[in-house]
Amino acid sequence: MKQFLILAATLTATSFMTQAQEKAKHEETEFYSPVPPVVTPGASLSNAPSDAIILFDGKNLDQWVSTKDSGAAKWTLADNVITVNKSAGDIQTKNSFTDYQLHIEYRIPSNITGSGQARGNSGIFLAALPWGAGGYELQVLDNYKNTTYVNGQAGSIYKQAVPLANACGKPGEWQTYDVVWTAPRFSENGILKSMARVTVFHNGVLVQNNVTLLGDTPYIGQPSYRKHGPAPIKLQSHGDKSEPISYRNIWVRPL
Ligand code: MG
């Protein structure tokens, strides 16, 4: 009897719900504004969409400065690509960004030498900071048949997040990173309100899936947060002895 009553109550509730749904109109769950902007995709991923800010398209380094002295970026520009100049140090964008989508391509030289971390080491600092570890580094390294600590291999958020896959191409091939960056937020008095998050595709393969960062990415010690606002994107000139790597087709879409 008790079971029958429960069944009857359930059926009645279901019946009411169905009646309510029948009275609803499809228009009630459809809306027409704000209308998403029209964005024309590039012919391929290398070609920027119509609303992107071009950071490097092969012509010049006008969007970049040296982090040493804020003067001109002195990396080598030839054949529409830029190559790391190890004596000139890191370069970073003139403009600062908060949340964005980034596309960038890099090439490890085909004659690369070295092993472990000393083989094509560079990096993309997703928000460059003038203190501590220098920001939050997405590692660039040749890990095609080259092993190192897994939280420091290509596709890692350096010493924080192991990539979901090793998607490295061969030295000599152009490779891509596509990144969605959500910057951390801080209160006026510097209290962390929300941590940074990042999604990364490496050569089209998902390697970081909406990962939450614990802070910046130091070589030694634990990550930590310190209040900052919009920040440049920085490319690392690493001190390893291997042949310098190259970049091309860099564009960003602030979100
Ligand atoms: Mg690096």
Q: Can you give the residue ranges of every domain in the chain?
A: 51-254
Q: Are 63 and 94 in contact (CB under 8 A)?
A: yes
Residue 205 pairs in a beta bridge with: 202
Q: Domain spanning 51-254: which CATH class is it, in words?
A: mainly beta
204-233 pLDDT tens trace: 999 999 999 999 999 999 999 999 999 999
Burial classification of residue 223, based on how many CB atoms lie within 10 Å of its CB (0-12 exposed, 13-18 middle, 19 or more buried): middle
Ligand 1 centre and the CA of 141: distance in Å? 7
Ligand 1 centre and the CA of 219: distance in Å? 10
111-123 pLDDT tens trace: 999 999 999 999 9
User: Which position has the higher pLDDT, 195 or 239?
Assistant: 195
100-156 pLDDT tens trace: 999 999 999 999 999 999 999 999 999 999 999 899 999 999 999 999 999 999 999
Ligand 1 centre and the CA of 114: distance in Å? 14
Ligand 1 centre and the CA of 66: distance in Å? 17
Ligand 1 centre and the CA of 235: distance in Å? 9
Instruction: Find where tokens 């600092």 sit.
Output: 125
67-77 pLDDT tens trace: 999 999 999 99
Using pLDDT thresholds of 50, 70 and 90, give the confidence band for residue 160. very high
Share of the chain above pLDDT 70, in %: 92
Residue 14 pLDDT: 55
Ligand 1 centre and the CA of 121: distance in Å? 5
Q: Are 124 and 233 in contact (CB under 8 A)?
A: yes
Residue 113 pLDDT: 96
Torsion angle, alpha carbons of 23, 28, 30, 35, to 10 = 170
Mean pLDDT for the chain? Answer: 93
Residue 8 pLDDT: 54
Report the C-alpha gap between 239 and 237 in whole angstroms. Answer: 7
Using pLDDT thresholds of 50, 70 and 90, give the confidence band for residue 18. low
Predicted confidence (pLDDT) at residue 98 exceeds the cutoff of 60: yes
Query: What's the rounded mean pLDDT across residues 74-96?
Result: 97
Residue 2 pLDDT: 56
Ligand 1 centre and the CA of 237: distance in Å? 8
Residue 43 pLDDT: 85
Ligand 1 centre and the CA of 153: distance in Å? 9
Ligand 1 centre and the CA of 105: distance in Å? 15
Question: DSSP characters for 3-72?
Answer: HHHHHHHHHHHHHHHHHHHHH--GGGG----SPPPP-PPPSSTTSPPTTPEEEESSS--TTEEETTTSSB
Count other Cβ atoms within 10 Å, centred on residue 141: 27
Question: DSSP characters for the chain?
Answer: -HHHHHHHHHHHHHHHHHHHHHH--GGGG----SPPPP-PPPSSTTSPPTTPEEEESSS--TTEEETTTSSB---EEETTEEE--TTT--EEESS-BSSEEEEEEEE--TT----TTSSS-EEEEEEE-SSTT-EEEEEE---SS----GGGSTTSBTTTB--SS-----TTSEEEEEEEEE--EE-TTS-EEE--EEEEEETTEEEEEEEEP-S---SSS--------SB--EE-----SSPPPEEEEEEEEE-
User: Which position has the higher pLDDT, 47 or 198?
Assistant: 198
Residue 46 pLDDT: 79
- Rounded to the nearest angstrom, the gap between the alpha carbon of residue 146 and the centroid of all alpha carbons in its chain is 23
25-70 pLDDT tens trace: 999 999 999 999 999 999 887 789 999 999 999 999 999 999 999 9
